[in-house]
C-alpha cells in the first residue's frame, strides 16, 4: 500500500496534477492559506543526535525556490488580519513558520529567505535563548549518541547502543516515551538517562545551538517576524493553569521587551489535539495574541478559528510536500469525514 501511494504521488507530480489542482481550486473558492511548519534547517553534516524536524539546507533552498514560483508568501500576521477582518484570503497564499529558535535559522535559513525575499515567522522558546540549555529532545539525543556503553537499562528495560542504527532506534523510543508522559515524568526520564549512560551534558551546550538575541534583533530589523512559543516548551495541558499562564504571558513580554515590537502570534508547544484546550486558548487571547498555530495538519480558510490554525510539515520528500500543499489530501479527508 505504501509503495502504491508513493507511485501515485510521484506520477501526479510528474504530470503536474498537484500544482494544477491547487491552481484550479484557488480560483473556484475564495482562496485558502497554507502555513508551513519548519523546525531546523540542517548543515550538510548535521549533529547526528539532533534529527528532529530537520530539513537539509540544499533541499530547503529548492523548497523555497519552488514555493516562491507557485505561491504568494505573506506573514502570519497578514493572514490572521484578513480572517479577523473578514477579508478574502489571497489566492495561492502561504506562510512560512519556524519553531523553537535554533541558530541554524540565522546561519542557514535566513540567507535563503533573504535571497528569495521570502517573509517568515519564527516562534521563540524564550527560556532557551542565551541560556545554554538544551531542549529536552536534544538532551536525549546527545546522551544516547555520546554514550560509550553497549546498552543501558531504564525502568527495567534494556536499550542496545552498539551501533548507530541501534542508537537511533533508542532515541526514537525514548522520545516517544517522554513525549506522552507528564512534564515531571519527562524530567525524571532524562535525569535517569543521564545517570544510566554516564554521559554528562556540557554546561552551555545549547548556547551554540540556539539563537542569540543579537541574531534575533538583526533578523527582526530585516523583516522577519517573531512570535512566542512559551518559555520552557511544556505541553500546556500537562501543567497547572497558573504555570500555563506564566509560560504564555512571560514569553510574549520577553520578546516584546527585547525587540521593542508588539508580539501578536503564538505557537502551542507540541501542538497536537489535546495539547491545548479552551482554557489555554482563552489564556492566549487574554495575553493579547491575535492568532495561534497548532501542529495539526490542515489548510486555512476564511472559516478557520485564528487561534487554531493548522500547519503542514515540510517533510523531506518534495513531491509529497507538493501534494499536501495543493490541499487535495485535506479535501479528500473532509469528504470522507463529511
pTM: 0.94
Cβ–Cβ under 8 Å, residues 330 and 118? no
Cell digits of residue 119: 517573509
Q: How far apart are CA 306 and CA 166, in angstroms?
A: 42
Which of the four pLDDT bands, split at 50, 70 and 90, describes residue 44? low
Q: Over 60: is that where the pLDDT of 117 sits?
A: yes
Q: Which long-range contacts (CB under 8 A, 24 or more apart) does 115-120 make?
A: 115/61, 116/64, 116/65, 116/68, 118/64, 118/67, 118/68, 118/73, 119/73, 119/74, 119/75, 119/223, 119/224, 119/225, 120/75, 120/96, 120/224, 120/225
Phi, psi values for residue 168, rounded to 5°? -60, -45
Average pLDDT estimate for 153-161? 93
Give the mean model confidence (pLDDT) for residues 274-287.
98
- pLDDT score, position 338: 57
Mean pLDDT, all residues of the chain: 92
In terms of phi and psi (left: phi > 0; alpha: psi -120 to 50; beta: otherwise), the region of 274 is: left
Provide the percentage of residues in the chain whose pLDDT is more than 70.
95
Please determine, for residue 334, whether its predicted confidence score (pLDDT) is greater than 80: no
Which of 52-56, 262-266, 271-275, 299-303 has the least mean pLDDT?
52-56
Answer whether residue 213 shows pLDDT above 90: yes
Q: How far is CA 9 from the centre of its chain?
A: 24
Residue with cell 503536474: 16
Share of the chain above pLDDT 90, in %: 75
Q: Are 92 and 113 in contact (CB under 8 A)?
A: no
pLDDT of residue 247: 98
Q: Is 318 exposed, middle or buried (0-12, 13-18, 19+ CB in 10 A)?
A: middle
Neighbours of 41 (CB within 10 A): 27
232 with 210: CB under 8 angstroms?
Answer: no
Amino acid 331: pLDDT: 82
Q: Tell whether the model's pLDDT for residue 50 goes beyond 70.
A: no
Report the C-alpha gap between 52 and 266 in whole angstroms: 21
Q: How confident is the model at residue 337, as a pLDDT?
A: 65
pLDDT value at position 19?
86
Closest CA to 327 of 14, 31, 3, 7: 31
List the grid coordinates of 15.
504530470
Predicted pLDDT of residue 123: 98
Residue 108 DSSP code: I
pLDDT of the residue at 52: 59
Per the DSSP assignment, residues forming a β-bridge with 42 are 56
- What was the pLDDT predicted at 272? 96
CB-based contact 89:74 (threshold 8 Å): no
pLDDT score recorded for residue 45: 56
Amino acid at each position: 500500500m505504501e509503495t502504491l501511494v508513493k507511485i501515485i504521488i510521484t506520477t501526479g507530480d510528474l504530470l503536474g496534477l498537484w500544482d494544477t489542482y491547487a491552481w484550479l481550486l484557488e480560483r473556484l473558492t475564495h482562496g485558502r492559506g497554507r502555513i508551513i511548519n519548519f523546525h531546523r534547517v540542517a548543515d550538510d553534516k548535521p549533529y547526528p543526535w539532533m534529527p528532529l524536524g530537520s530539513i537539509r539546507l540544499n533541499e530547503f533552498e529548492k523548497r523555497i525556490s519552488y514555493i516562491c514560483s507557485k505561491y504568494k508568501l505573506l506573514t502570519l500576521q497578514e493572514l490572521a488580519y484578513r480572517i479577523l477582518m473578514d477579508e478574502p484570503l489571497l489566492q495561492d497564499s502561504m506562510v512560512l513558520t519556524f519553531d523553537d529558535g535554533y541558530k541554524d535559522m540565522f546561519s542557514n535559513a535566513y540567507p535563503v529567505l533573504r535571497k528569495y525575499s521570502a517573509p517568515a515567522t519564527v516562534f521563540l522558546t524564550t527560556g532557551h535563548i542565551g541560556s545554554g540549555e538544551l531542549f529536552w529532545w536534544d538532551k536525549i539525543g546527545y546522551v544516547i549518541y555520546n554514550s560509550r556503553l553497549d546498552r543501558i537499562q531504564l525502568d527495567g528495560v534494556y536499550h542496545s547502543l552498539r551501533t548507530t542504527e541501534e542508537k537511533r532506534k533508542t532515541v526514537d523510543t525514548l522520545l516517544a516515551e517522554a513525549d506522552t508522559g507528564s512534564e515531571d515524568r519527562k524530567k525524571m526520564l532524562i535525569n535517569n538517562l543521564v545517570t544510566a549512560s554516564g554521559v554528562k551534558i556540557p554546561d552551555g551546550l545549547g548556547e551554540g545551538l540556539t539563537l542569540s538575541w543579537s541574531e534575533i534583533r538583526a533578523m527582526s530589523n530585516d523583516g522577519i517576524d517573531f512570535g512566542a512559543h512559551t518559555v520552557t516548551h511544556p505541553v500546556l495541558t500537562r501543567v497547572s493553569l497558573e504555570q500555563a499562564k506564566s509560560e504564555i504571558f512571560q514569553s510574549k513580554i520577553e520578546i516584546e521587551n527585547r525587540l521593542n515590537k508588539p508580539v501578536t502570534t503564538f505557537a502551542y508547544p507540541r501542538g497536537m489535539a489535546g495539547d491545548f484546550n479552551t482554557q489555554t486558548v482563552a489564556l492566549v487571547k487574554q495575553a493579547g495574541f491575535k492568532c495561534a498555530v497548532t501542529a495539526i495538519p490542515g489548510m486555512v480558510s476564511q472559516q478557520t478559528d485564528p487561534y487554531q490554525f493548522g500547519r503542514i510539515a515540510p517533510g523531506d520528500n518534495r513531491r509529497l510536500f507538493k501534494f499536501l500543499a495543493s490541499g487535495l489530501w485535506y479535501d479528500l479527508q473532509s469528504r470522507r469525514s463529511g
